[in-house]
Structure 1
Amino acid sequence: MSYLDDPRVLFAAERTLLAWNRTSLAMIAFGFVVERAGLLIAVMQGHQAPHTTSSTFILGLAFILLGAVCALISSYQYGVVLKQLSEAEIPKGYKARWGVLANLVVAVLSLALAVSLFNVAS
């Protein structure tokens, strides 16, 4: 990737990964709010059990799943960047994979949230 032998390259890649992590979390949170707003609307209209085919339910789950996909893809991209860095670009003793772990945990938990919401709505 670069031949600068400068650890700032690693830290720039890590900042980008964590920016994607925040984006993923925002999408997941927005999807949850949309899904819950649909439930609130259904209750206010007097429906006893909201259907899983409502547009807000599907849209909310889509945002949650999109957040999970963003977390997974950004983790993969960061891994590609890490493989291209030289030893001089990674400070000794620095564990560059913690950001990937955070993104993977976000992805797994968002998938669990989507499954949980789907099971509750069924």
Structure 2
Amino acid sequence: MSDLKDPRVLFAAERTLLAWNRTSLSLIAFGFIVERAGLLMEAIAPDSVHAAQVALTFWVGIFFIALGCFASAFSARQYSIVLRTLQPVEFPPGYAARWGLAVNSIIAILGLFLIIILIIGHIR
């Protein structure tokens, strides 16, 4: 529990959450690019690409997307824990501190949907 009674503690926690938000979005985007790289290689030079290369880029991309989802969900959990330790005086009047938590949770859910869509598309 914080004894500082200073709203800067809240804002520092929120900046950390937003940094993890950017990191998770970057991991998800990078994973999507890696996942599509196999298809691009296959389209550009179909004779020189092996099926194992396409499969490898697919699963590595899925791993990066999953890592981004995990980072987003875990950072939302950590931020929620920090919010519970703060006293009411540390929240500015009318400040909605839970919006960042909601955004990170939604990003994690949408990332999982992306994984499902890509796996279903890969199976077909």
Look up the equivalent residue of 1:83 and give its one-letter code. Answer: R
* TM score, norm. by length of structure 2: 0.90
Aligned ranges 1:27-46 → 2 under 5 Å: 27-46=27-46
State how many pairs are aligned: 120
- C-alpha separation in 1, matches of 2:122 and 2:10: 43
- C-alpha separation in 2, matches of 1:92 and 1:100: 18
- C-alpha separation in 1, matches of 2:98 and 2:110: 19
- C-alpha separation in 1, matches of 2:13 and 2:105: 17
Partner of 1:80: 81
Partner of 2:97: 96
The Cα shift of 1:39 comes to 1.1
* Percent identity over paired residues: 52
Q: Cα deviations across residues 67-119 of structure 1 (Å, max 9, x unaligned)?
A: 00000000000000000001111112111100001001111111111111111
Is structure 2 residue 8 aligned with structure 1 residue 5? no
Partner of 1:117: 118
User: Which one has a larger percent helix, Structure 1 or Structure 2?
Assistant: 2
Is structure 2 residue 56 aligned with structure 1 residue 59? no
* TM score, norm. by length of structure 1: 0.92
Question: Unmatched 5+ residue regions in structure 1?
Answer: none
SS of the residue 1:54 aligns to? helix
Deviates more, 1:8-17 or 1:35-44: 35-44
Partner of 1:26: 26
Q: Which aligned runs of 4 or more in structure 1 are off by greater than 4 angstroms?
A: none
- C-alpha separation in 2, matches of 1:62 and 1:81: 28
- C-alpha separation in 2, matches of 1:87 and 1:109: 32
Question: Unmatched 5+ residue regions in structure 2?
Answer: none
